[in-house]
Amino acid sequence: MAFTVRLLLFSSLFLLPVSVFAQTNGSIAVGDFLTATTANSSPWLSPSGDFAFGFSPLGSNDLFLLSIWYAKIPDRTIVWHANGDNEAAVAPKGSTVNLTANSGLVLRSPQGEELWKSGTSVGVIANGVMNDTGNFVLQDRNSESLWETFNNPTDTMLPGQTLERSGKLSSRQSETNYSKGRFQLLLQEDGNLVLSTINLPTNFANEPYYATDTTSGTVAGSEGKELVFNVSGYLYVLRENGGKYNLAVGEVVSARDNYIRATLNFDGIFAQYYLPKNFTGNVSWTILWSEPDNICQRITESSGVGVCGYNSICTLKGDKRPTCRCPTGFSLLDPNDHIGDANRISYKAVKKMSLVAQKIYMMLRC
Ligand SMILES: *[C@@H]1O[C@H](CO)[C@@H](O)[C@H](O)[C@H]1NC(C)=O
Ligand SMILES: *[C@@H]1O[C@H](CO)[C@@H](O)[C@H](O)[C@H]1NC(C)=O
Ligand SMILES: *[C@@H]1O[C@H](CO)[C@@H](O)[C@H](O)[C@H]1NC(C)=O
Ligand SMILES: *[C@@H]1O[C@H](CO)[C@@H](O)[C@H](O)[C@H]1NC(C)=O
Ligand SMILES: *[C@@H]1O[C@H](CO)[C@@H](O)[C@H](O)[C@H]1NC(C)=O
Ligand SMILES: *[C@@H]1O[C@H](CO)[C@@H](O)[C@H](O)[C@H]1NC(C)=O
Ligand SMILES: *[C@@H]1O[C@H](CO)[C@@H](O)[C@H](O)[C@H]1NC(C)=O
Protein backbone atom coordinates (compact mmCIF):
# COMPACT_ATOMS: atom_id res chain seq x y z
CA MET A 1 0.00 0.00 0.00
CA ALA A 2 2.68 2.40 1.11
CA PHE A 3 4.61 1.39 -1.93
CA THR A 4 1.69 2.19 -4.25
CA VAL A 5 1.18 5.60 -2.68
CA ARG A 6 4.85 6.40 -2.98
CA LEU A 7 4.88 5.21 -6.55
CA LEU A 8 1.87 7.34 -7.37
CA LEU A 9 3.42 10.34 -5.68
CA PHE A 10 6.62 9.78 -7.51
CA SER A 11 4.97 9.40 -10.88
CA SER A 12 2.74 12.42 -10.43
CA LEU A 13 5.74 14.51 -9.41
CA PHE A 14 7.54 13.24 -12.43
CA LEU A 15 4.64 14.09 -14.72
CA LEU A 16 3.99 17.51 -13.24
CA PRO A 17 6.21 19.65 -15.46
CA VAL A 18 4.95 17.93 -18.60
CA SER A 19 1.29 18.34 -17.70
CA VAL A 20 1.80 22.00 -16.72
CA PHE A 21 3.31 22.61 -20.11
CA ALA A 22 0.63 20.72 -21.97
CA GLN A 23 -2.36 21.99 -20.03
CA THR A 24 -1.63 25.66 -19.52
CA ASN A 25 -4.80 27.66 -19.91
CA GLY A 26 -2.78 30.76 -20.71
CA SER A 27 -3.81 32.42 -17.44
CA ILE A 28 -1.21 34.40 -15.48
CA ALA A 29 -1.93 35.32 -11.86
CA VAL A 30 -1.21 38.71 -10.27
CA GLY A 31 2.16 38.31 -8.53
CA ASP A 32 3.59 36.04 -11.22
CA PHE A 33 6.86 37.20 -12.70
CA LEU A 34 9.53 36.29 -15.25
CA THR A 35 13.28 36.91 -15.07
CA ALA A 36 15.48 37.73 -18.06
CA THR A 37 18.04 34.93 -18.20
CA THR A 38 19.17 32.64 -20.97
CA ALA A 39 19.16 29.57 -18.71
CA ASN A 40 15.82 27.93 -17.78
CA SER A 41 13.69 30.90 -18.75
CA SER A 42 10.24 29.48 -19.34
CA PRO A 43 7.91 31.99 -20.96
CA TRP A 44 4.16 32.28 -20.47
CA LEU A 45 2.54 30.13 -23.15
CA SER A 46 -0.85 30.27 -24.80
CA PRO A 47 -3.05 27.15 -24.33
CA SER A 48 -2.15 25.73 -27.75
CA GLY A 49 1.52 26.51 -27.16
CA ASP A 50 1.60 28.55 -30.37
CA PHE A 51 2.55 31.86 -28.73
CA ALA A 52 4.90 32.75 -25.92
CA PHE A 53 5.29 35.89 -23.81
CA GLY A 54 8.63 36.53 -22.16
CA PHE A 55 12.20 37.65 -22.72
CA SER A 56 13.99 37.23 -26.05
CA PRO A 57 17.78 37.51 -26.08
CA LEU A 58 19.00 40.47 -28.15
CA GLY A 59 22.32 39.79 -29.82
CA SER A 60 24.99 38.52 -27.49
CA ASN A 61 25.21 41.46 -25.10
CA ASP A 62 23.20 40.01 -22.21
CA LEU A 63 20.31 42.21 -23.28
CA PHE A 64 16.70 41.08 -23.58
CA LEU A 65 13.49 42.23 -25.16
CA LEU A 66 10.12 41.70 -23.46
CA SER A 67 8.17 40.24 -26.35
CA ILE A 68 5.67 37.82 -27.87
CA TRP A 69 6.80 35.23 -30.41
CA TYR A 70 5.76 31.99 -32.13
CA ALA A 71 6.80 29.34 -29.62
CA LYS A 72 6.89 26.41 -32.06
CA ILE A 73 9.00 27.99 -34.80
CA PRO A 74 12.74 27.48 -34.30
CA ASP A 75 13.72 30.83 -35.84
CA ARG A 76 12.33 33.38 -33.39
CA THR A 77 9.82 35.71 -35.02
CA ILE A 78 8.76 38.50 -32.68
CA VAL A 79 5.24 39.86 -33.20
CA TRP A 80 5.14 42.37 -30.35
CA HIS A 81 7.67 44.00 -28.04
CA ALA A 82 7.57 46.39 -25.11
CA ASN A 83 8.52 49.86 -26.27
CA GLY A 84 8.62 53.40 -25.01
CA ASP A 85 7.88 56.33 -27.28
CA ASN A 86 10.68 55.71 -29.73
CA GLU A 87 13.00 53.25 -28.04
CA ALA A 88 12.50 49.55 -27.50
CA ALA A 89 12.44 48.73 -23.78
CA VAL A 90 15.73 46.84 -23.73
CA ALA A 91 16.25 44.92 -20.48
CA PRO A 92 19.62 43.86 -19.06
CA LYS A 93 20.12 40.31 -17.79
CA GLY A 94 18.38 39.75 -14.46
CA SER A 95 15.53 42.20 -15.18
CA THR A 96 12.07 41.07 -14.10
CA VAL A 97 8.56 41.59 -15.36
CA ASN A 98 5.80 41.31 -12.74
CA LEU A 99 2.07 41.20 -13.18
CA THR A 100 0.65 43.67 -10.68
CA ALA A 101 -2.98 44.46 -9.85
CA ASN A 102 -2.75 48.22 -10.28
CA SER A 103 0.04 48.89 -12.79
CA GLY A 104 -0.31 45.86 -15.03
CA LEU A 105 2.97 44.51 -16.33
CA VAL A 106 5.97 46.21 -14.74
CA LEU A 107 9.46 45.70 -16.15
CA ARG A 108 12.36 46.50 -13.83
CA SER A 109 16.13 46.31 -14.15
CA PRO A 110 18.07 44.19 -11.61
CA GLN A 111 18.68 47.48 -9.74
CA GLY A 112 14.93 48.06 -9.46
CA GLU A 113 14.72 50.84 -12.01
CA GLU A 114 11.41 50.85 -13.89
CA LEU A 115 12.13 50.27 -17.59
CA TRP A 116 8.58 49.97 -18.89
CA LYS A 117 5.03 49.30 -17.77
CA SER A 118 1.82 48.50 -19.57
CA GLY A 119 -0.04 51.06 -17.48
CA THR A 120 -3.79 50.64 -17.17
CA SER A 121 -5.65 53.77 -16.16
CA VAL A 122 -8.85 52.22 -14.86
CA GLY A 123 -9.77 49.02 -13.07
CA VAL A 124 -7.99 46.38 -11.03
CA ILE A 125 -6.31 43.53 -12.83
CA ALA A 126 -7.34 40.04 -11.82
CA ASN A 127 -5.13 38.12 -14.23
CA GLY A 128 -3.32 38.09 -17.55
CA VAL A 129 -4.01 35.76 -20.48
CA MET A 130 -1.65 34.70 -23.24
CA ASN A 131 -4.32 34.10 -25.85
CA ASP A 132 -4.03 31.62 -28.71
CA THR A 133 -4.46 34.49 -31.17
CA GLY A 134 -1.14 35.94 -29.99
CA ASN A 135 -2.85 38.65 -27.95
CA PHE A 136 -1.65 39.17 -24.37
CA VAL A 137 -4.62 40.48 -22.41
CA LEU A 138 -4.88 41.98 -18.91
CA GLN A 139 -8.39 41.50 -17.56
CA ASP A 140 -10.43 42.34 -14.48
CA ARG A 141 -12.37 39.86 -12.35
CA ASN A 142 -15.25 39.91 -14.84
CA SER A 143 -12.85 38.98 -17.66
CA GLU A 144 -13.23 42.45 -19.18
CA SER A 145 -10.11 43.46 -21.07
CA LEU A 146 -8.26 46.41 -19.48
CA TRP A 147 -5.17 46.35 -21.69
CA GLU A 148 -4.01 44.19 -24.57
CA THR A 149 -1.07 43.97 -26.88
CA PHE A 150 -3.48 43.95 -29.87
CA ASN A 151 -4.36 47.56 -28.95
CA ASN A 152 -0.70 48.50 -28.58
CA PRO A 153 0.84 47.05 -31.72
CA THR A 154 4.45 47.41 -32.80
CA ASP A 155 5.29 46.42 -36.40
CA THR A 156 3.06 43.38 -36.80
CA MET A 157 -0.66 42.54 -37.01
CA LEU A 158 -2.10 39.06 -36.49
CA PRO A 159 -5.41 37.53 -37.58
CA GLY A 160 -8.10 38.67 -35.15
CA GLN A 161 -6.51 42.09 -34.70
CA THR A 162 -7.96 45.42 -35.81
CA LEU A 163 -6.54 48.92 -36.03
CA GLU A 164 -8.84 51.84 -35.25
CA ARG A 165 -8.50 55.32 -36.73
CA SER A 166 -5.20 56.96 -35.70
CA GLY A 167 -3.90 53.47 -34.95
CA LYS A 168 -0.53 52.68 -36.46
CA LEU A 169 2.29 50.23 -36.95
CA SER A 170 5.90 51.44 -36.76
CA SER A 171 8.81 49.73 -38.44
CA ARG A 172 11.90 48.88 -36.45
CA GLN A 173 15.37 50.31 -37.11
CA SER A 174 16.73 47.14 -38.63
CA GLU A 175 16.21 43.41 -38.54
CA THR A 176 17.86 43.23 -35.10
CA ASN A 177 17.29 46.71 -33.63
CA TYR A 178 13.72 47.06 -32.35
CA SER A 179 13.76 50.81 -31.72
CA LYS A 180 11.33 52.78 -33.86
CA GLY A 181 12.43 53.05 -37.47
CA ARG A 182 11.61 55.36 -40.36
CA PHE A 183 8.35 53.91 -41.70
CA GLN A 184 4.79 53.95 -40.47
CA LEU A 185 1.42 52.50 -41.41
CA LEU A 186 -1.39 54.77 -40.24
CA LEU A 187 -5.17 54.63 -40.48
CA GLN A 188 -5.75 58.36 -40.72
CA GLU A 189 -8.68 60.17 -39.13
CA ASP A 190 -10.12 60.63 -42.62
CA GLY A 191 -10.20 56.86 -43.10
CA ASN A 192 -7.27 56.65 -45.49
CA LEU A 193 -4.75 53.90 -44.78
CA VAL A 194 -1.27 55.21 -45.64
CA LEU A 195 2.35 54.18 -45.57
CA SER A 196 4.84 57.01 -45.07
CA THR A 197 8.34 57.78 -43.94
CA ILE A 198 8.62 59.69 -40.69
CA ASN A 199 11.27 62.10 -39.50
CA LEU A 200 12.72 61.06 -36.18
CA PRO A 201 12.56 62.17 -33.42
CA THR A 202 9.72 64.55 -34.30
CA ASN A 203 7.61 61.77 -35.88
CA PHE A 204 6.58 64.16 -38.63
CA ALA A 205 5.01 62.06 -41.38
CA ASN A 206 6.00 62.82 -44.98
CA GLU A 207 3.75 62.43 -48.01
CA PRO A 208 2.47 58.84 -48.22
CA TYR A 209 4.20 56.43 -50.60
CA TYR A 210 1.17 54.15 -50.54
CA ALA A 211 -2.51 54.88 -49.81
CA THR A 212 -5.78 52.99 -50.09
CA ASP A 213 -7.63 56.28 -50.73
CA THR A 214 -10.47 55.02 -48.57
CA THR A 215 -11.76 58.51 -47.79
CA SER A 216 -15.26 59.95 -48.02
CA GLY A 217 -15.46 60.07 -51.78
CA THR A 218 -18.59 60.40 -53.85
CA VAL A 219 -20.23 57.38 -52.22
CA ALA A 220 -21.63 58.06 -48.74
CA GLY A 221 -19.79 56.31 -45.91
CA SER A 222 -16.91 55.09 -48.01
CA GLU A 223 -14.30 56.37 -45.55
CA GLY A 224 -12.32 53.73 -43.69
CA LYS A 225 -13.47 52.89 -40.17
CA GLU A 226 -10.89 50.31 -39.20
CA LEU A 227 -8.20 48.07 -40.61
CA VAL A 228 -9.36 44.50 -40.04
CA PHE A 229 -7.19 41.38 -40.11
CA ASN A 230 -9.94 38.82 -39.70
CA VAL A 231 -9.40 35.38 -38.20
CA SER A 232 -9.52 33.81 -41.66
CA GLY A 233 -6.45 35.85 -42.58
CA TYR A 234 -8.06 38.53 -44.81
CA LEU A 235 -6.73 42.04 -44.39
CA TYR A 236 -9.05 44.86 -45.42
CA VAL A 237 -10.10 48.42 -44.64
CA LEU A 238 -13.67 48.25 -43.37
CA ARG A 239 -15.57 51.30 -44.61
CA GLU A 240 -18.19 53.17 -42.56
CA ASN A 241 -20.87 51.84 -44.93
CA GLY A 242 -19.76 48.24 -44.39
CA GLY A 243 -17.86 47.97 -47.67
CA LYS A 244 -14.43 46.40 -47.73
CA TYR A 245 -11.22 47.49 -49.41
CA ASN A 246 -9.06 44.37 -49.65
CA LEU A 247 -5.33 44.91 -49.40
CA ALA A 248 -4.71 41.76 -51.41
CA VAL A 249 -7.06 40.46 -54.03
CA GLY A 250 -7.55 36.74 -54.53
CA GLU A 251 -4.59 35.65 -52.46
CA VAL A 252 -5.24 33.75 -49.27
CA VAL A 253 -3.96 30.76 -47.35
CA SER A 254 -5.80 28.77 -44.70
CA ALA A 255 -5.51 30.37 -41.26
CA ARG A 256 -6.14 26.97 -39.71
CA ASP A 257 -3.13 25.35 -41.39
CA ASN A 258 -0.76 28.32 -41.42
CA TYR A 259 0.71 30.92 -39.13
CA ILE A 260 -0.13 34.26 -40.72
CA ARG A 261 1.14 37.76 -39.99
CA ALA A 262 1.32 41.18 -41.62
CA THR A 263 4.48 43.15 -40.86
CA LEU A 264 5.75 46.60 -41.70
CA ASN A 265 9.38 45.75 -42.41
CA PHE A 266 12.30 47.95 -41.46
CA ASP A 267 12.76 48.79 -45.16
CA GLY A 268 9.23 50.17 -45.53
CA ILE A 269 7.60 47.16 -47.19
CA PHE A 270 4.27 46.13 -45.70
CA ALA A 271 3.84 42.41 -46.33
CA GLN A 272 1.67 39.47 -45.40
CA TYR A 273 3.52 36.25 -44.63
CA TYR A 274 2.60 32.66 -43.93
CA LEU A 275 4.32 29.54 -42.66
CA PRO A 276 2.69 26.08 -42.60
CA LYS A 277 1.98 24.89 -39.04
CA ASN A 278 2.94 21.32 -39.97
CA PHE A 279 6.39 22.31 -41.24
CA THR A 280 9.30 19.89 -41.11
CA GLY A 281 12.98 20.75 -41.08
CA ASN A 282 14.21 24.14 -42.19
CA VAL A 283 11.35 26.53 -42.56
CA SER A 284 10.97 30.18 -43.38
CA TRP A 285 8.17 32.68 -43.95
CA THR A 286 6.72 33.05 -47.43
CA ILE A 287 5.44 36.41 -48.68
CA LEU A 288 1.81 36.24 -49.81
CA TRP A 289 1.66 39.88 -50.99
CA SER A 290 3.40 43.16 -50.29
CA GLU A 291 2.95 46.91 -50.77
CA PRO A 292 4.08 49.03 -52.48
CA ASP A 293 5.06 47.31 -55.71
CA ASN A 294 8.17 49.34 -56.27
CA ILE A 295 9.29 51.24 -53.19
CA CYS A 296 12.37 52.58 -54.98
CA GLN A 297 10.12 54.53 -57.36
CA ARG A 298 7.38 55.33 -54.86
CA ILE A 299 9.49 57.18 -52.32
CA THR A 300 10.45 60.37 -54.06
CA GLU A 301 11.38 63.88 -52.98
CA SER A 302 7.94 64.73 -51.61
CA SER A 303 7.75 61.59 -49.49
CA GLY A 304 11.11 62.18 -47.86
CA VAL A 305 14.49 61.25 -49.23
CA GLY A 306 14.46 57.90 -51.04
CA VAL A 307 14.59 54.59 -49.23
CA CYS A 308 18.34 54.48 -49.60
CA GLY A 309 19.25 58.01 -48.62
CA TYR A 310 20.72 60.74 -50.74
CA ASN A 311 22.91 59.74 -53.66
CA SER A 312 22.69 56.00 -53.18
CA ILE A 313 20.98 53.74 -55.66
CA CYS A 314 17.89 51.73 -54.77
CA THR A 315 17.15 48.48 -56.56
CA LEU A 316 14.54 45.83 -55.92
CA LYS A 317 15.38 42.27 -55.04
CA GLY A 318 13.24 39.40 -56.29
CA ASP A 319 10.91 39.67 -53.31
CA LYS A 320 10.28 43.39 -54.05
CA ARG A 321 12.32 44.40 -51.03
CA PRO A 322 14.83 47.18 -51.61
CA THR A 323 18.58 47.03 -51.49
CA CYS A 324 20.93 49.99 -51.69
CA ARG A 325 24.26 50.53 -53.34
CA CYS A 326 26.52 53.46 -54.06
CA PRO A 327 27.54 54.75 -57.47
CA THR A 328 31.01 53.57 -58.52
CA GLY A 329 33.66 55.39 -56.57
CA PHE A 330 31.59 55.82 -53.43
CA SER A 331 31.16 53.52 -50.47
CA LEU A 332 28.25 53.31 -48.05
CA LEU A 333 28.55 55.55 -45.00
CA ASP A 334 27.75 52.61 -42.78
CA PRO A 335 28.46 49.36 -44.61
CA ASN A 336 26.19 47.45 -42.24
CA ASP A 337 23.24 49.72 -42.91
CA HIS A 338 21.91 48.41 -46.18
CA ILE A 339 19.06 50.85 -46.41
CA GLY A 340 20.88 54.07 -45.63
CA ASP A 341 21.11 55.82 -42.29
CA ALA A 342 18.52 57.34 -40.01
CA ASN A 343 20.08 60.77 -39.82
CA ARG A 344 19.62 61.77 -43.41
CA ILE A 345 18.49 65.27 -44.19
CA SER A 346 15.81 66.14 -46.69
CA TYR A 347 16.39 66.64 -50.37
CA LYS A 348 15.08 70.20 -50.06
CA ALA A 349 17.59 70.95 -47.32
CA VAL A 350 20.39 69.67 -49.53
CA LYS A 351 19.17 71.83 -52.41
CA LYS A 352 19.37 74.89 -50.14
CA MET A 353 23.03 74.27 -49.38
CA SER A 354 25.78 76.04 -51.28
CA LEU A 355 27.09 74.08 -54.23
CA VAL A 356 30.28 73.26 -52.41
CA ALA A 357 28.38 72.06 -49.35
CA GLN A 358 26.14 69.95 -51.59
CA LYS A 359 29.15 68.30 -53.16
CA ILE A 360 30.68 67.54 -49.78
CA TYR A 361 27.40 66.21 -48.47
CA MET A 362 26.96 63.98 -51.50
CA MET A 363 30.44 62.60 -51.03
CA LEU A 364 29.72 61.93 -47.39
CA ARG A 365 26.36 60.37 -48.03
CA CYS A 366 27.55 57.47 -50.05
C1 LIG B 1 -6.23 28.55 -15.30
O2 LIG B 1 -5.41 27.76 -14.47
C3 LIG B 1 -5.14 28.34 -13.20
C4 LIG B 1 -4.22 27.39 -12.47
O5 LIG B 1 -3.19 26.97 -13.28
C6 LIG B 1 -6.46 28.55 -12.43
O7 LIG B 1 -6.18 29.20 -11.22
C8 LIG B 1 -7.39 29.41 -13.27
O9 LIG B 1 -8.65 29.52 -12.62
C10 LIG B 1 -7.60 28.82 -14.64
N11 LIG B 1 -8.37 29.77 -15.44
C12 LIG B 1 -9.34 29.38 -16.26
C13 LIG B 1 -10.03 30.47 -17.01
O14 LIG B 1 -9.65 28.21 -16.39
C1 LIG C 1 8.33 41.07 -8.60
O2 LIG C 1 8.19 39.81 -8.01
C3 LIG C 1 9.32 39.42 -7.25
C4 LIG C 1 9.06 38.03 -6.71
O5 LIG C 1 7.80 37.95 -6.13
C6 LIG C 1 9.53 40.43 -6.10
O7 LIG C 1 10.71 40.09 -5.43
C8 LIG C 1 9.66 41.82 -6.68
O9 LIG C 1 9.73 42.76 -5.63
C10 LIG C 1 8.47 42.15 -7.55
N11 LIG C 1 8.66 43.43 -8.17
C12 LIG C 1 7.67 44.31 -8.26
C13 LIG C 1 8.00 45.57 -8.98
O14 LIG C 1 6.55 44.10 -7.83
C1 LIG D 1 -8.69 34.77 -27.52
O2 LIG D 1 -8.58 33.74 -28.46
C3 LIG D 1 -9.82 33.22 -28.93
C4 LIG D 1 -9.51 32.12 -29.92
O5 LIG D 1 -8.54 31.27 -29.41
C6 LIG D 1 -10.63 34.32 -29.60
O7 LIG D 1 -11.90 33.83 -29.97
C8 LIG D 1 -10.79 35.48 -28.62
O9 LIG D 1 -11.41 36.55 -29.29
C10 LIG D 1 -9.45 35.94 -28.12
N11 LIG D 1 -9.63 36.98 -27.12
C12 LIG D 1 -8.94 38.13 -27.17
C13 LIG D 1 -9.26 39.12 -26.09
O14 LIG D 1 -8.07 38.35 -27.98
C1 LIG E 1 19.06 50.89 -31.97
O2 LIG E 1 19.09 52.06 -32.74
C3 LIG E 1 18.95 53.26 -31.98
C4 LIG E 1 18.82 54.41 -32.94
O5 LIG E 1 19.76 54.34 -33.97
C6 LIG E 1 20.16 53.37 -31.06
O7 LIG E 1 20.04 54.54 -30.28
C8 LIG E 1 20.20 52.15 -30.15
O9 LIG E 1 21.34 52.19 -29.35
C10 LIG E 1 20.19 50.87 -30.95
N11 LIG E 1 19.98 49.76 -30.04
C12 LIG E 1 20.76 48.71 -30.01
C13 LIG E 1 20.41 47.65 -29.03
O14 LIG E 1 21.71 48.58 -30.78
C1 LIG F 1 -12.90 37.34 -43.50
O2 LIG F 1 -13.04 38.19 -44.62
C3 LIG F 1 -13.29 37.50 -45.82
C4 LIG F 1 -13.23 38.51 -46.95
O5 LIG F 1 -14.06 39.59 -46.70
C6 LIG F 1 -14.64 36.79 -45.72
O7 LIG F 1 -14.89 36.07 -46.91
C8 LIG F 1 -14.59 35.84 -44.53
O9 LIG F 1 -15.85 35.24 -44.34
C10 LIG F 1 -14.20 36.58 -43.27
N11 LIG F 1 -14.02 35.62 -42.21
C12 LIG F 1 -14.66 35.73 -41.04
C13 LIG F 1 -14.40 34.67 -40.03
O14 LIG F 1 -15.42 36.65 -40.81
C1 LIG G 1 0.87 19.89 -44.29
O2 LIG G 1 -0.54 19.99 -44.45
C3 LIG G 1 -0.97 20.16 -45.80
C4 LIG G 1 -2.46 20.31 -45.80
O5 LIG G 1 -2.87 21.23 -44.86
C6 LIG G 1 -0.54 18.98 -46.63
O7 LIG G 1 -0.90 19.20 -47.98
C8 LIG G 1 0.97 18.79 -46.54
O9 LIG G 1 1.36 17.65 -47.20
C10 LIG G 1 1.40 18.71 -45.08
N11 LIG G 1 2.86 18.69 -45.04
C12 LIG G 1 3.53 17.91 -44.20
C13 LIG G 1 5.01 18.02 -44.27
O14 LIG G 1 2.98 17.13 -43.43
C1 LIG H 1 18.93 25.10 -42.48
O2 LIG H 1 19.32 26.32 -43.06
C3 LIG H 1 20.59 26.75 -42.64
C4 LIG H 1 20.85 28.11 -43.23
O5 LIG H 1 20.09 28.36 -44.37
C6 LIG H 1 21.65 25.72 -43.06
O7 LIG H 1 22.91 26.14 -42.59
C8 LIG H 1 21.30 24.37 -42.47
O9 LIG H 1 22.20 23.39 -42.95
C10 LIG H 1 19.89 23.98 -42.85
N11 LIG H 1 19.52 22.75 -42.15
C12 LIG H 1 18.85 21.77 -42.74
C13 LIG H 1 18.51 20.61 -41.87
O14 LIG H 1 18.51 21.82 -43.91
CATH architecture of 154-293: Orthogonal Prism (2.90)
User: Percentage of residues in the chain with pLDDT exceeding 70?
Assistant: 78
Q: Which ligand has the nearest atom to the CA of 336? A: 4
Per-residue b or e along 311-347, where b marks 16 or more CB atoms closer than 10 Å to that residue's CB: bbebeeeeebbbebebeeebebbeeeebbbebebeee
Give pLDDT, residue 19: 38
Instruction: Give the residue-averaged pLDDT of 283-302.
Output: 80
- Mean pLDDT (the chain) is 83
Under 8 Å between Cβ of 145 and 49: no
Pocket (CB within 6 angstroms of ligand 7): 281-282
Which has more confidence, 274 or 85?
A: 274
Q: Is 244 in the pocket of ligand 5 (CB under 6 A)?
A: yes
Q: Is 107 in the pocket of ligand 2 (CB under 6 A)?
A: no
Could you read off the pLDDT of 104-145 as tens digits, one per residue? 999 999 999 999 999 866 889 999 999 999 999 999 999 999
Nearest CA to ligand 7 atom 8: 282
For residues 193 and 168, give the distance between their C-alpha atoms in angstroms, rounded to a whole number. 9
The predicted model scores a pTM of 0.83
Pocket (CB within 6 angstroms of ligand 1): 25, 27
Q: How far is the CA of 12 from the centre of ligand 2 (A)?
A: 30
Please, which pLDDT band fits residue 201 given cuts at 50, 70 and 90? confident
Q: Among 28, 133, 147, 228, which residue has the most ligand 3 atoms within 8 Å of its CB, making it the best to mutate?
A: 133
Please, which pLDDT band fits residue 43 given cuts at 50, 70 and 90? very high
Please check the confidence at residue 6 and state whether its pLDDT lies above 60.
Answer: no
The residues of the chain that CATH labels 2.90.10.10 are 1-152, 154-293
Q: Does domain 1-152 have CATH number 1.10.1060.10?
A: no
Q: Among 28, 53, 135, 138, which residue has the most ligand 3 atoms within 8 Å of its CB, making it the best to mutate?
A: 135
Give pLDDT, residue 324: 76
Give pLDDT, residue 137: 97
Nearest CA to ligand 2 atom 12: 98
